[in-house]
């Protein structure tokens, strides 16, 4: 038996004003689009914004449903939109923010497991890293250099021989 290690590191900033301007703009947009979430059940509004290689910006917000399991996370709404509107264009950077109307919104949240798997699909498709900026409405900001760092030992298309 031997042990394998997985090293995960990410950048931590005390606040948005420490970010490079382009990253700060993207995070501000993610904060703004939280208002477009359809979240009448959780009151937890999530905004995801992608900056594409061609300079386009694509947004997504969580879309809940009275039939709860149907609900979609902001990240996957954004990824589906990006892939539908600009199918051949890689995503360079995404920013994710949220507004927890019933609680605190001052720390970063990171994508759920489903969204991590979905992010990986597009990162693998374009063979280019997707940077991820995470931040609440205020407070610390995390930057992760590559989406696959969030999902070690992941299941990928390689297993399918396609």
> Does the annotation count 75 as an active-site position?
yes
Q: Which of 56, 112, 138, 157 binds ligand THU (CB under 6 A)?
A: 112
R_g (Cα) of the chain, nearest Å: 16
Q: Which of 16, 24, 26, 46 binds ligand THU (CB under 6 A)?
A: 46
Contact 39, 153 (CB under 8 A): no
Under rule CB under 6 A, how many of the chain's residues touch ligand THU?
Answer: 13
DSSP classification of residue 45 = E
Contact 125, 157 (CB under 8 A): no
Q: Which of 26, 74, 132, 147 binds ligand THU (CB under 6 A)?
A: 74
Cross-strand pairs, 144? 132
Rounded CA gap, 41 and 152, in Å? 32
Using the minimum distance from each CB to ligand THU, give the nearer residue, 90 or 111. Answer: 111
Give the footprint of ligand THU on this chain (CB under 6 A).
39, 42, 44, 46, 62, 64, 71, 73-75, 111-112, 115
The catalytic residue positions are 75
């Amino acid at each position: 038996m031997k042990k394998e290690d997985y090293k995960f590191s990410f950048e931590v900033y005390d606040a948005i004003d420490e970010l490079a301007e382009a990253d700060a703009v993207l995070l501000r947009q993610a904060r703004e689009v939280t208002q477009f979430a359809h979240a009448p059940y959780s009151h937890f509004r999530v905004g995801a914004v992608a900056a594409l290689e061609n300079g386009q910006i694509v947004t997504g917000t969580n879309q809940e449903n009275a039939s709860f399991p149907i609900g979609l996370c902001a990240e996957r709404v954004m990824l589906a939109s990006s892939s539908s509107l600009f199918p051949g264009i890689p995503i360079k950077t995404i920013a994710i923010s949220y507004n927890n109307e019933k609680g605190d919104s001052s720390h970063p949240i990171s994508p759920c497991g489903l969204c991590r798997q979905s992010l990986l699909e597009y990162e693998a498709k374009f063979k280019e890293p997707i940077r991820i900026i995470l931040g609440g409405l205020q407070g610390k900001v995390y930057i992760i250099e590559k989406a696959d760092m969030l999902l070690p030992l992941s299941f990928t298309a390689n297993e399918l021989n396609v």
